[in-house]
A and B are shown apart, each in its own frame.
Chain A
């Protein structure tokens, strides 16, 4: 797993992909920071963090579309699948590499709360919880992208599938706000990726949500493994 992780992490910065992702994310996050905090002289950073979710929703496929689709297209999966390294450790290595690039980029945005801390008054706990929630939500997004990359050989199709699945989860929130049937609303709220982030946004750390995000990622990573295994049987 370590071998795959190191190679994949380096690959992001051996090509333009890593730089494009980091630049796009930081640029858009900067725009939201300027609009929400600088322009309005507000120290409410979690609103900016909430907007950054949509930025990551937009940019996450850049991180994940290549992971497995490109391996299959170039037949390099013949190397990966014929060595003693197991498929699960390859998938885990690739997933952790994408997650690390995301985490490093997220860390770069810490400069914004530091600025707010210097010039205003903010709650460190609130910010920390917001970042923890964002990290786990991002992890779930990446696992969806990994799955989308496993079902196709085309990077474009992989990116579109990732958008499709994530938008489906986003739509779930819209449905929740429109229908008011007790059990259905509760059920959808329980499954909603974005609804769970709200508690972090308000400064509450929820262990249940962490478990949910980890389980969600685990399911999608396992689905990716199953898809890759199914290809061997076809």
Chain B
């Protein structure tokens, strides 16, 4: 669907993107991660044709953006970091305007805009001026404009910024639904969001693509990093861990309830499943396991390790 071929971008003498190459062949959600200034927005701007690459090319469905920019642009929807909205227009007027800009046939504009307003839950504010909307609603208008024309590829820069928790859930579910037959590329600083909805992640560091993998390759959620609460005092249970769970790293997290202790246990090996071992150890020592759930910090760990340059492979 979309392929980046050795994309480089210089701002003056500063190298912003260094030979970035990847391809996305099927409908999925791709997370784009990187620290501030890593080149995420530059990469998105190049993929959407807003900026041109110093070298390399972006190819969508076999069509190069440098040869046929309008054809490529018609297949890509874009939400930049700041929603590009006209605040003197109402939500409905603005989305109709975007639909016409994107070449939606005149007779379909009204229907298409009404559908998008319904999908993005903007019905209550459709006739209000954009300047009178909250930041969260303006962000949703930004997402809605990107979806107008049902582009094959949706590129969203920090789509959930400014949304309240219930709106975040709604937008995530909307994106998950849209990604069933489209490609969505999301940049976000919220790593848990990336780990929850993305199928694949790309990590950029100082303009270089340093990691490109599937989420399932990156993390092993729920198996090797576990939080537990047991009805035992700290010293008593620490002895038990040292004897029976010797291959686990442990971290005391305090006493969540009187007479109890909270722990985070992490397997030494990345692939090891320690859930059964924890359960049998607690039961074997005639204690009660009051809480047990996975702690998924894999993506944060990987992100920090990679961007700190500790293991670039």
Chain A residues with CB under 8 Å of chain B are 3-4, 7, 11, 14-15, 74-86, 232-234
Contacts and interface: CB of A to CB of B under 8 A. Distances in A.
A29 B306 CA distance: 68
Given A4-B101, A79-B80, A84-B73, 18 more contacts: A3-B97, A3-B101, A7-B89, A7-B97, A15-B88, A75-B82, A77-B50, A78-B48, A79-B78, A79-B84, A79-B101, A82-B73, A83-B74, A84-B103, A86-B70, A232-B50, A232-B51, A233-B52
Given A3-B97, A80-B101, A83-B102, A74 B84 contact: yes
A84 B101 CA distance: 7
A14 B88 contact: yes
Interface string B60-77: 000000000011011010
Contacts of A77: 50, 84
A83 B52 contact: no
Q: Which 5 A-B pairs have the closest CB atoms?
A: A79-B84, A3-B100, A84-B74, A14-B88, A82-B48
Interface string B217-261: 000000000000000000000000000000000000000000000
B86 interface: yes
Interface centre among B50, B52, B88 (most CB of A within 10 A): B50
Contact of B52 (A7, A75, A232): A232
Contacts of B101: 3-4, 79-80, 83-85
B139 to A, nearest CB: 14
Nearest to B84: A79
Contact of B50 (A15, A78, A84): A78
Contacts of A233: 52
Nearest to B46: A232
B161 to A, nearest CB: 14
A83 B73 contact: yes
Contact of B102 (A15, A81, A84): A84
